[in-house]
Structure 1
Amino acid sequence: MSSSIVFENVTKTFPSREGEELTALRDVGLEIAPGEFTVVVGPSGCGKSTLLDLLAGLATPSSGRVLVDGVPVLGPGLDRGVVFQQYALLPWRDARGNVEFGLEAKGVPRRERRERAQEYLELVGLTGFGDRYPHELSGGMRQRVAIARSLAFDPDVLLMDEPFAALDAQTRDLLQEELLRIWERTGKTVVFITHGIDEAVYLGQRVAVLTSRPGRIKEVIDVGLGDRRTGDVRSSPEFAQLRHRIWEQLQDEVRQAAREGEEAVARV
C-alpha cells in the first residue's frame, strides 16, 4: 500500500527568544501521488525538517492542513515510518530486536515478529546480522537497521530526514542504490529530505525546491531519468542539466538570504 500526501497552504511559526514569531514555512502547497518518490531540497534553515515533522505528526501547522489519503494528520501514526539522520537504535537490543520494536507496539505475535524482522533485515541486505548489537555494526549497517525497522510495520509512507548525511561517500552511494531497490519492490510513498543536489537528482522522481526562510515551494522539478540503477546515470548529460537547474535555484535563494541579512544588519 502507498498513500497520497497533500500540503494545503501550510504555515508553521515558532516563538523566538525576542518574543516575536519566527516563520519556518509559509503557505506551502504540495501534492505527492501514491507510490511517488519525492525529494525536498532547500537552503539551510529553510524548514525542510519542519515540513517532515508536520507530515510525521511530530508538529502541528499554525495554519493550513497536511493530509494523508485525504485524512488530516493530527499526530504520529503507524501509516508513516520515519528514518532520521541519527540512527536512534536501542543499544541494548540486537538488530532483530530493534526491527521488532515497532511490531511489539502494534501487538504482533512473537513468532510473526521474528519472521517479519528477519524478512526486512534480508530486504536491506543484513542477512546473518540479526544477532549483532548496534555497537557491533558500521554506520551504514545501523542505518539499514533503522530503515528495516521503519518498513517492518508496513507503513504506507516512508519519511526520511537526511538519513545518509553522516555516512562516507561510498557507503552513501551504496545505500542510495539499496533504497531505490527497496522502493521499487515495496511501492511505498517516499518523502526524502537532503542537502545534496546529486542525491536529490539520483533518488527523486520529483524534486521540490524550497525558498530560503520562510520556506515556500519555489519549484517542483520532474526528474524523469528512468531506471537509475542501470549504467552510470550520474555521468549522463541529463543528470548534469538537472543538477545545474536545481543548483541555480538554490544559489538564487542563498544570495537572497544573504542580501536580506545585510539589510537587517544595516537597520540595526
Structure 2
Amino acid sequence: MAKIVFEGVRKTFPHKDRGAFTALDGVDLEIGSGEFLVVVGPSGCGKSTLLDLLGGLTRPTEGRILLDGDPVTGPGLDRGTVFQQYALLPWRTAQGNVEFGLEATGVPRRRRAARAREFLELVGLAGFEDRHPHELSGGMRQRVAIARALAYDPDVLLMDEPFAALDAQTREALQGELRRIWETTGKTVVFITHGIEEAVYLGQRVAVMTSRPGRIKEVVPVALDGHTGDVRSSPEFARYRHEIWDLLHDEVARAQQLEKEAVTA
C-alpha cells in the first residue's frame, strides 16, 4: 500500500472578481513509503497548495488525500514541514529551537536536550548548539530548521523550496546533506522546487505539474544510484534534466501567458 495517495484532488479558492479560483484540478498521485518525491512546475501551478493540503493546513474542495490509508483531515505529528524561510525563534539557541517542537509533545527535559543534540549532529551542527540564529549563516539556519522538523520523528517530511533563498554553493552543499539525512533516516520526503537540476539530483521520482489549474502531467523515475564521481556532470543527469525540461517548457509558456492575461483583464 502506498504511504500517501492523492485521489481526484481539486482545490478552489474564493476570487473577488471571478467567484472562484481553481488552484488544483484532478490531482492523482501515489507516493511510496521511504520515497523521495520531488514536485516541479511553473510558478502559480499549485505546488505549495499541494503541500499545504498534505500538511492538513487546508482541505480539498473535492477528492481526498490518504496517509497510511487514513484521510488527512488536519495537521499532525506524523508530518514535519520545512519552509523556504527558516521561521526560527530568534531568542532561542539552535538547541532551543530544535527542542521547541519536542516541548509541545511533552518530551521530558533531559530526553529533549539529548534528542536535540542528536539531530543537530545529524545535520552537521555539532558544536553550534548554543548559537542564536543571528550568529548562524543562512545555510546553518536551514540545517536547524531541518533538525527541528526531524527531531519529533515524523513519518513524512514536507519541504517547500527550502533552499531557494540560499547561494548556489550553500544550496548544493545542503542538497548533498539532505540526501545523506534521507538515506540515514528512511523518511518519506515530498520536496517542492522550481529547480530542474535540484529535482533530478534529489528525487527518486520527479512529478511534473501543469500550469494552472495544476495537475500531474507526468511522473519521471530517476535512476542515478551507484554513479561515481560528480553525478551532476554525468550524461544520465543531463538526459533526465532535458526530459523534465521538455515536459515543463510548454507549461511555463502557458503560465506566462495566463499571467499576462490576468494583468490586462
1:242 corresponds to which of 231, 240, 243: 240
- CA 211–131 in structure 1, closer or farther in 2 if over 3 Å, else same: same
Measure the CA separation in 2 of the matches of 1:162 and 1:103. Answer: 24
2:44–2:255 Cα contact (<8 Å) kept: no
Q: What is aligned with 1:233?
A: 231
Aligned 1:55-70 pairs, distance under 5 A: 55-70=54-69
- Supply the AA of the counterpart residue of 2:187: K
| TM-score under structure 1 length normalisation | 0.95
Computed over aligned residues only, the root mean square deviation of the Cα atoms, in angstroms, reads 1.6
Alpha-carbon offset, residue 257 of structure 1: 3.4
Deviations 1:167-219 (A, max 9, x none): 00000000000000000000000000000000000000000000000000000
| TM-score under structure 2 length normalisation | 0.96
2:14–2:20 Cα contact (<8 Å) kept: yes
Stretches of structure 2 lacking an aligned partner (at least 5 in a row): none
- Supply the AA of the counterpart residue of 2:12: T
Deviations 1:61-114 (A, max 9, x none): 001111110111111100000000000000111000000011001100000000
- Supply the AA of the counterpart residue of 1:236: S
Secondary structure class of the residue paired with 1:45:
coil
- Supply the AA of the counterpart residue of 1:200: A
- Supply the AA of the counterpart residue of 2:244: I
1:150 aligns with 2:149: yes
Secondary structure class of the residue paired with 2:26:
strand
Q: What is aligned with 1:112?
A: 111
Alpha-carbon offset, residue 265 of structure 1: 8.3
Aligned 1:17-32 pairs, distance under 5 A: 17-32=16-31
Measure the CA separation in 2 of the matches of 1:16 and 1:61. Answer: 17
Q: What is aligned with 1:82?
A: 81
Secondary structure class of the residue paired with 2:213:
coil
Alpha-carbon offset, residue 256 of structure 1: 2.9
- Supply the AA of the counterpart residue of 1:141: M
2:203–2:222 Cα contact (<8 Å) kept: yes
Q: What is aligned with 1:221?
A: 220
Alpha-carbon offset, residue 248 of structure 1: 1.2
- CA 263–123 in structure 1, closer or farther in 2 if over 3 Å, else same: closer
Secondary structure class of the residue paired with 2:29:
strand
Measure the CA separation in 2 of the matches of 1:261 and 1:85. Answer: 23
- CA 44–263 in structure 1, closer or farther in 2 if over 3 Å, else same: closer
- Supply the AA of the counterpart residue of 1:193: I
The share of aligned pairs that are identical, in percent, is 74
- Supply the AA of the counterpart residue of 2:59: T
Alpha-carbon offset, residue 264 of structure 1: 7.6
Moved more, 14-23 or 159-168: 14-23
Alpha-carbon offset, residue 263 of structure 1: 7.1
Q: What is aligned with 1:205?
A: 204
2:158–2:189 Cα contact (<8 Å) kept: yes
Measure the CA separation in 2 of the matches of 1:57 and 1:93. Answer: 27
Alpha-carbon offset, residue 254 of structure 1: 1.9
Secondary structure class of the residue paired with 2:158:
strand
Alpha-carbon offset, residue 252 of structure 1: 1.1
Alpha-carbon offset, residue 17 of structure 1: 2.1
Stretches of structure 1 lacking an aligned partner (at least 5 in a row): none
Moved more, 250-259 or 7-16: 250-259
Measure the CA separation in 2 of the matches of 1:14 and 1:206. Answer: 29
Aligned 1:174-213 pairs, distance under 5 A: 174-213=173-212
